Each structure stands twice: as C-alpha cells, then as structure tokens.
Amino acid sequence: MKRIILCIVAGLVSATITWAADGLNYDGNTLNLNNDFTRTECGTMAKKVMPETSGFACSRQTSGYIWAHGDENTGSNKKIVAIQPSGTLAMTVTISGDPGRDDWEDIATGIYGGKNYVFIGAIGDNDLQFKDSYYIYFFEEPAITSASKEVSVKYIRFGYPDNKAHNTETLMYDNVEQIFYIVDKVKSGVCTLYSLPFKTDYGTSTQTLTKVCELGSGSKFNYCTGGDISPDGKWMLIKSKPYTLMWERQGSESLSQTAQRLPVQIAAYQEEAQGEAIAWLDSTTFYTTSDQKNDVPIYQYVRTFDNGGGGGTNPPEPPTESSPELYEVIMNNGYNAYLSGDELRAFYTAGEAEPAIKSLKANEGTTWEREGNTVTLTGTDKTTKSYTLVIEAVQPREYTPDEIVFDGSEGSWVKCAYGWDSTKKWRFSKTDDNYERELAGKTHVEFFLPACDTVVLKSMDSNERDMRAYANGVQIGDKVKLLKAGTTLVVKQSAPFMLTVASAQSSGDGGVKALRMARKAGPSQSVRNVHSNPVQSTKVLRDGQLLIERNGVLYDMQGKRL
C-alpha cells in the first residue's frame, strides 16, 4: 500500500494526514477512502483518572467535555468521569441503582423529550453466559461542575432475537429516531447491527433487539469495538482495532436503511493497540482512545475537507444563525402529529392516556418548550415560532367481519392529512427528504380499529406499493407490498388500537382501497375499561360480534356493558 504521510510537529502535538491507495474489502467491494479528516494527539487518558477506558461520549449538557468509563465497574470503580479533550479530570459521577452487571463496554449521550441523557451499555459477555441479561443504564445528564455526584440509574434489560448470548462493545444512540443501535463483536463470521427504540418506561420486562443487517465481510471487519452517531444523526462511525468506517445518512431515511449501503473508510485512522472508545463532538470532529492499563493518548479527528483523495466531500457553508424550522413532531405513543396551518394535530385511541410530545425534528440549534397547549420553537437567531397543539381522542371502528370498501365516509376513524379521493381512496405519499410531507402526515394514514387478530389491506389499483405497517407505533415485520388482492397483517390486538400504514416508496403516491378484519374467540385477560378488578374475562362470539364475558355480564370490546 502506497502512503503519503505529512507530519507537522509543534511541541508535543502531532497532526497526520494519511492518503492511502486502497480501502478495505467489504463484502467484495473495495471501500472508498475518506480523506477529509486529520488526526491529532490532543491529550492523555491517564490511568489514575480512568484505567482501561472502554467508552467515550461527548457531553450534550456541557459543551466541550467527554464522558468516559473503564472496564472495571465494581465497588469504587462503579463510576464515569467527565474529562476535557486534554484528559484533565473535571467531574466524577458514581453510579447506583444498577442491577449489578459489571461488564460496561460503551457509553452514549442523546436527547429524548427535550432532555439530555447518558446511556451506559452493560453489554459485554466474553464468556457468552448471560443470553438475555444485557442492560442499558440511563439517567438525565448532569451539568459538569467541579463537584462529584452520585446518580441512581434506571435501566433497560434486553436480549437478542436468536435467544443466544452475544459479546458486544458498541452502543450508539440516534437523536433523530430516538433509537439505540448495537453491534455485536465476533471472533469469526460477520458482525451484526441491531436496534431498540428508547423508552423510559419499559419497566423490568426483557426487550428483544431487532436485527437490522450484517456488517462487512467478516474476515476484515468482524471485531467491532466501538461506535457513535453524530448529534445531528447524519454520520455513523463504527470501528474495529485496525479500521474506522463511516456511513452517511441520506435525507430522511432511517439509520437502518443507511447501514445497508457501503460505508467509507476513514483514511486518517491509525490502529490503536486496544482501541475501543470513539465519540462525535459534532458533525466535524470525533475523539478516540485505547483501553489499556497505562496512560494512553487521546486523538482528535477533525474534518478538513481536503479533497485530494477519494471519498472527499465539499466543505459546508459557514454556519449562520437561523430561524426555527419544524420538520416533524413525534408523540410519546409513537405517532406523528400533523401540521395544519399553525396547529399541530395529534390523535390517539379513545380510552388511552392522552399523549405528550416526545421529540421534535427541527433545524440544527432549534430548541422548543411547551406551555399548556402552546408549543414554541426558538431558532439560533433568537426568533420564535409558536403552534397550538390540538389532541383528539378517536373512537375506533366497530368490528365487522365484512370487507370495508372505502368511499370517503370513514373520516371519523381514519386520519390522513393527504386525504381521500374517489380514485386513490385513502392516500399516502412517497417517502423522501421533503420534511413538509412528514410534518403534514402525508407519508402515512392511520386506522383506528377494534380488537382483532389480522387485518387485510387492499391497494387502490393493480400497482404494488411498498409500505410499512405499525400497530400502536410498533412495526409489524419489515417492509411489505400493498397488493390489489390484499396484504394480510398479523396484529394480534386484544383491545382497540391504531394501525399506521406508512409509505416506503421513493416515488409516486399510494392508496388503500379496502380493509377487512378477523378475530377468533378465546380466553382473554382483562380488557380496557373492564379490568379495574382483575377477574378472568373470556372472549365470546355472538351473532358474528366478539364480546367480553365477565362474571356472566357481557361487554363490548370497548368495555361498555351491554
């Protein structure tokens, strides 16, 4: 391999630009080398501050600091530290309230519900013994001061979809989707990327990760030791000891889609003896260090936009102050709010708790707050924009085993900002990077349905439509085809719910022509509005109508006594 290396030495600090002729072989493809970064030794991770540093994450609460943790996480070592990029210790946070898993392998920071959080991944398993006892600890990020602090963490317990043990050292959090992305570490074979939505109320139940895709050829990139997603969600870094790879998100696509394209290889990255920690400061700068018992260097990688080699990109325009621009509003029940003029309209199934705003997508630097029914955004130029939040409870459709062929009169239980017409029926539009479509709800349509086991949807014409379906905000399988003959979705809902059909198309509009529900009788535990007293209830089928029988009394599926 031919390399041209330029070293600039000033005092004890060196910067290196590395241009290489060949990239890593990744699934039979030679990766492009990204030459946009320079590498500088900016500090020292001292063993007296944190020995064997396994994870880095840049603070979102107090700019300019890095959170770090080590491999030893018991007793007095059950802590994280905040350091400056030079390695100078700023603050120590002692951890309590955790379930005792001591193999911490990565740390991440992120925003959820307008608050900054720290996430610690107790996800290592060298001996493959835990199977479903992996944890993400989380807590609201404190301001970094000179004082020490103790925090009691909450946690999410999870396992893998194959119900097997996995050794893992990479925990990442995406601010755009509020989703964790986790990469396992294998000695042979191929590393796999998994996902898990972040929620603060999972409780003590064990969650199951969703498999996203496999990464790389296995022979060259099978020992993933760390990763991070830039705070704007644009860039994902995943590293092994010899290589660091970077994926670029395109438009409004999910990171799951991003990960299935070829990455580029960071040319400036040089192998670290036990390199495990990596963290984005912002979209132009990241830091790395190594997990060793002695003092180790901290490296800073800065995007320079030197396009002399492959993989370079044009430099961005200089940052300017901007007024607030709203892209998307996500409620804490997993649904999107629609924009109608200066109103944000959100819907939920009648009988459930009224949802609140979980997060907003807006242009970089925009902050938001809610007071009563008013949501106010503030841009970096200090200008504001206000919206009125209107939340509506929707009564679900009564059950019928007959096919419902839409004629536009379903508006009381169908919500779709894109609307209905006689040709395309209930319409949804293409998915692209036009945020106005998302904010207006035009990429999806919601059906408020009674309890049922399956739902069959029919396309408005003979064209197959790519779509994704969600029951109460949880995706049903993967991307599916909406067919003229009908596509069956297994929903298994024992109470009224919201079915979302979202576009997965890159062009064109889709529409839903007809819907059919099916369900079967069988034992059921308490149903909404019937379960104040936990007495066994039973589903019964009477004259084609599914009812609830409890202590000899009949109720409809909404809990109303008959």
Residue 532 amino acid letter = S
Place 228 in a pLDDT band, splitting at 50, 70 and 90: very high
Alpha-helix residue ranges (DSSP H) falling in 429-502 = 435-439
The reported pLDDT for the residue numbered 539 is 62
- Whether the per-residue pLDDT at 528 is higher than 60: the answer is no
Strands 37-45 and 13-20: antiparallel
**Position 181 confidence tier, pLDDT thresholds 50, 70, 90:** very high
Task: Fold for 3-303, please state it.
Answer: Neuraminidase (2.120.10)
At residue 560, the pLDDT reads 65
Q: What confidence score (pLDDT) does residue 9 get?
A: 31
pLDDT exceeds 90 at position 220: no
Q: Average pLDDT for residues 536-543, to the nearest whole number?
A: 60
More confident residue, 456 or 340: 456
pLDDT exceeds cutoff 50 at 353: yes
The per-residue pLDDT for 314 is: 52
- Residue bearing the bigger pLDDT, 1 or 316: 316
Please, which pLDDT band fits residue 88 given cuts at 50, 70 and 90?
Answer: very high
Categorize the per-residue pLDDT at 356 as very low, low, confident or very high, splitting at 50, 70 and 90: confident
- Determine the pLDDT at residue 368: 82
Do residues 273 and 290 lie in contact, with contact meaning Cβ atoms separated by under 8 Å? yes
Strands 452-459 and 487-493, by their bridges, are antiparallel
**pLDDT confidence of residue 22:** 67
What is the reported pLDDT for 385? Answer: 93
Q: According to the model, what pLDDT value does residue 538 have? A: 63
Question: Above pLDDT 90, what percent of the chain?
Answer: 47
**Rounded alpha-carbon distances, angstroms, from residue 363 to 30, 176, 285, 316, 371:** 35, 11, 20, 15, 21
* Residue position matching structure tokens 């902050």: 367
Task: Delimit the CATH 2.120.10 region(s) of the chain.
Answer: 3-303
Q: What is the mean pLDDT of the chain?
A: 84
Q: Which of 179-183, 239-243, 317-321 has the weakest average pLDDT?
A: 317-321
CATH 2.60.120 in the chain: give the residue spans.
Answer: 395-519
Residue 492 has pLDDT above 50, yes or no: yes
* CATH number assigned to the domain covering 324-394: 2.60.40.2340
pLDDT of residue 332: 78
Amino acid type, 151: V
Question: Per DSSP, what are the bridge partners of residue 336?
Answer: 330
Which backbone phi and psi does 28 adopt, to 5 degrees? 85, 0
| Helix (H) / strand (E) containing 226 | strand 226-229
The pLDDT value given to residue 546: 63
CATH architecture of the domain covering 395-519: Sandwich (2.60)
Q: In residues, how long is the chain?
A: 562
Which tens digits make up the pLDDT trace of 397-406? 999 999 999 9
**What is the band of 321 on the pLDDT scale with cuts at 50, 70, 90?**
confident
Please, which pLDDT band fits residue 30 given cuts at 50, 70 and 90? confident
Is pLDDT of 31 > 60? Answer: yes
Q: What is the mean pLDDT of residues 54-80?
A: 89
pLDDT at 323 over 90: no
Mean pLDDT of 11-28: 56
Enter the DSSP assignment of 392: E
Q: pLDDT digit string (tens) for 161-172?
A: 999 999 999 999
- Segment 115-139 shows an average pLDDT of 93
Q: Locate CATH 2.60.40.2340 in the chain.
A: 324-394
- What is the Cβ-side half-sphere exposure of residue 69, based on CA atoms within 13 angstroms? 30
Taking residues 192-208, report their average pLDDT.
94
Confidence of residue 248 (pLDDT cuts 50, 70, 90): very high
At 380-426, the pLDDT tens digits run 888 999 999 999 999 999 999 999 999 999 989 999 888 888 888 99
